[in-house]
A and B are shown apart, each in its own frame.
Chain A
Amino acid sequence: MAFVITEACQDEKAASCLDVCPVDCIKPVGNQYLIDPRLCIDCGACETVCPIEAIYHEDDLLEADQPARIMAINHFRA
Chain B
Amino acid sequence: MSIVTTFKVSLSLPKKKAVYQINRIKTKDYLLYILLMHFVIALPNGIQMASEFIAKGDIDKTFLLVFTLYPLLVILTGITSISVLATTGLLIRTVSKRKLVYQLLWKMAMYACTYPVLLYTTINLFYKTNSMIHLILVMLFLYIFTKMILAYPKKKR
Contacts and interface: CB of A to CB of B under 8 A. Distances in A.
Given A24-B155, A24-B156, A44 B20 contact: yes
Given A20-B104, A24-B156, A45 B23 contact: yes
A22 B24 contact: no
B98 interface: yes
Contacts of A24: 99, 155-156
Interface residues on B, range: 10 to 19
Given A22-B152, A22-B153, A23-B153, A43 B103 contact: no
Interface string B16-49: 0001110111110000000000000000000000
Interface of B is mostly: loop
B26 A44 contact: no
B101 A19 contact: yes
Contacts, number: 43
Nearest to B21: A44
Interface size range on A against B = 10 to 19
A43 B20 contact: yes
Best-surrounded residue of A21, A22, A24, A49 (most CB of chain B within 10 A): A22
A18 to B, nearest CB: 10
Interface in A1-45: 19-24, 41-45
Interface of A: 19-24, 41-45, 47-49, 57
What 10 A-B pairs have minimum CB-CB distances, sorted nearest first? A44-B23, A44-B24, A43-B20, A45-B23, A22-B152, A22-B99, A20-B101, A19-B101, A43-B23, A44-B20
Given A23-B156, A49-B103, 15 more contacts: A20-B103, A22-B100, A22-B152, A23-B152, A23-B153, A24-B99, A24-B155, A41-B20, A41-B152, A42-B20, A44-B21, A44-B23, A45-B23, A48-B25, A48-B26
